[in-house]
């Protein structure tokens, strides 16, 4: 993305992230209040999750100021990997939240088993959980649509942070509802719900961080995508053969690739240059998310 397209994409990311930050601010306050006044550890845990969403919103708003910068002499491939780092930060923060909630839930279960149970939850935490499910699922859909449109891994990761918050509110609502309906002897369901929430959060974190680790390690395109690239290059009749195809992810922005092409040794430099340019343009416009192509021409040699 360059020029006006890049500015439009950054504007869309900024708007949807600010929307998420404002929603998370209100949800965090509401759920903390409902959890404390309503005696529910699971909704307090859910509030901590919303607070982590707010932190990742801030990370995106700060990080996008840097990853949107164009390529320069010191960074010829641009600054896209800053977005990968922000995505990784979101995933790691999710892991930390999940582990923290799991520890708190285990401590509460120990208190219950040692005849030191907390007060039974009220209806207020149930209302907060149901509101969180509806609002955060809506926020997920809005955010993931923007992320997919502008191909922003950090925005897509943040959308999953929203959805994990919505999903974590489901077992919270179930646990609180069962405590209210079945009585204080089932109060253990509240921290059990927190355990379920924590594992859901950790699972979401893995989905976010795994692609980011691959990008930071310069992982290449998939075998299927490489085969598609090879077929596109071979579609030029002047291409006798090709080898040394190498690809790597340049942050979430797309793929950079270089390839060696065998051509007729009698081809002029001008014709070879024109062919190289046509191959580059076809790959860049192929829809395979390729953003940089280097073609090295070699003459066909007799065996």
pLDDT digit string, tens, across residues 153-212: 778 878 887 887 787 788 778 878 887 888 777 777 777 877 877 787 788 778 777 777
Q: Which is nearest to 81 in space by CA: 210, 214, 206, 207?
A: 214
Q: Dihedral (C-alpha) 40, 45, 50, 51: value to the nearest 10 degrees?
A: 110
pLDDT at residue 33 in the model: 92
pTM > 0.75: yes or no? no
Domains of the chain: 3-216 (1.20.1510.10), 223-299 (3.30.70.1350)
Sign of CA pseudo-dihedral 151, 152, 158, 164: positive
* pLDDT for residue 2 is more than 60: no
Q: How many CA atoms lie within 13 A of 255 on its CB side?
A: 25
Is residue 127 very low, low, confident or very high in pLDDT (cuts 50, 70, 90)?
Answer: very high
Q: What is the pLDDT of residue 135?
A: 93
Q: Assess whether pLDDT exceeds 70 at residue 91.
A: yes
Indicate the helix (H) or strand (E) that contains 298.
Answer: strand 290-299
Q: What is the pLDDT of residue 6?
A: 67
């Amino acid at each position: 993305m360059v020029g006006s397209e890049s500015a439009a994409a950054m504007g869309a990311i900024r708007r949807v992230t600010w929307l998420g930050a404002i929603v998370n601010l209100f949800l965090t306050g509401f759920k903390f209040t409902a959890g404390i006044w309503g005696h529910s550890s699971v909704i307090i845990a859910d509030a901590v999750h919303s607070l982590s969403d707010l932190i990742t919103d801030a990370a995106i708003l700060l990080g996008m100021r840097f990853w949107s910068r164009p390529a320069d002499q010191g960074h010829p491939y641009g600054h896209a990997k800053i977005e990968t780092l922000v995505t990784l930060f979101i995933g790691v923060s999710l892991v930390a939240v999940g582990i923290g909630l799991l520890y708190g839930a285990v401590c509460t279960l120990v208190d219950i088993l040692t005849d030191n149970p907390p007060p039974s939850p009220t209806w207020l935490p149930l209302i907060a959980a149901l509101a969180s499910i509806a609002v955060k699922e809506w926020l997920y859909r809005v955010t993931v649509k923007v992320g997919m449109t502008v191909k922003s891994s950090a925005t897509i990761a943040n959308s999953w942070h929203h959805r994990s918050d919505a999903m974590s509110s489901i077992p919270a609502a179930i646990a609180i509802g069962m405590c209210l309906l079945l009585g204080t002897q089932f109060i253990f369901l509240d921290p059990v719900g927190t355990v379920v929430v924590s594992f859901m959060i950790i699972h979401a974190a893995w989905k976010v961080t795994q692609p980011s680790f691959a990008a930071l390690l310069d992982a290449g395109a998939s075998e299927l995508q490489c085969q598609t690239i090879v077929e596109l290059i071979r579609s030029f009749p002047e291409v006798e053969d090709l080898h040394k195809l190498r690809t790597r992810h340049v942050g979430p922005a797309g793929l950079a690739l270089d390839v060696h092409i065998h051509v007729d040794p009698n081809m002029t430099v001008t014709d070879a240059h024109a062919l190289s340019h046509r191959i580059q343009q076809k790959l860049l416009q192929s829809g395979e998310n390729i953003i940089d192509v280097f073609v090295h021409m070699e003459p066909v040699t007799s065996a």
